[in-house]
Amino acid sequence: MADVSSVPPLLSGNLAFFFDLDGTLAEIKPHPDQVTIPAAVRTLLQKISMMNDGALALISGRSMAELDKLATPFHFPLAGVHGAERRDINDKTHVVTLPEPVVSALQQQLTEALLQFPGTDLEAKGMAFALHYRHAPEAADAILQLAQSMTLRYPELALQPGKCVVELKPLGIDKGAAIRAFMQEAPFAGKTPVFIGDDLTDEAGFKQVNALGGLTIKVGSGETIAHYRLANVRMVYHWLGKLTHHIEQQKSAISRGEDYESLSGSL
């Protein structure tokens, strides 16, 4: 478990950045549609991306369409629905799907089952389903049992608990697998990965980045295998601002050194 006081260092070098969204780049809201990334933070992400050859991706349980809307006007590589859909630097998409009969049956069965629990909500993502219970926390155990029963009925599904949500997604899909795929492609390949997330869904990403010798940052409290911790979303913003300034200074110093060497060589 990371020490709460273990704030991540300011980095520079050959880096690849991966960010969760809700609870990391944006405050969690009562309803997902209320979530926004502040314009200044979006600009910081674009700067970090440009300073690292475009090696910055958003990794989220949200769909890629939602991620694009939240990141506008910028256009980043993405992994949506925990990696079930992914867009690389060249805008090529990679999608894992479930058979249509399974999707239809699941939607009907889950919709009917959740009628027993007022305040819960079903989010259908095409290849995955999120069972939200933020407004019905007393239903947490029942929702988890419902999701577990579906994985027994449909062995092609995996269960993913999160903050006031349980998701059903294709087996073998997680944020670690998405990061691994990115790290095998340009412009991420050969760089040191950095991943920031806040939820149980991010632990698979932390595991993968740790294995690659990268840097992992947990946002908020709770057990984690991440190396460092930031207390909340506001501290993420603060760290990103300092990090951007640090990288700019490092690149400026390198540039000045190159200019000096170039001038010296011509004299």
Provide the annotated active-site residues.
Answer: 20
Alpha-carbon distance of 93 to 194, in angstroms, equals 22
> Please, what's the b/e burial string for 157-192 (b: 16 or more CB within 10 A of its CB; e: otherwise)?
bbebebebbbbbbbeebbbbbbbbebbeeebbeebb
CB 106 within 8 A of CB 154: yes
Q: Is 1 exposed, middle or buried (0-12, 13-18, 19+ CB in 10 A)?
A: exposed
Q: What are phi and psi of 245, to 5 degrees?
A: -60, -40
DSSP 10: P
Residue 227: CB atoms within 10 A of its CB come to 17
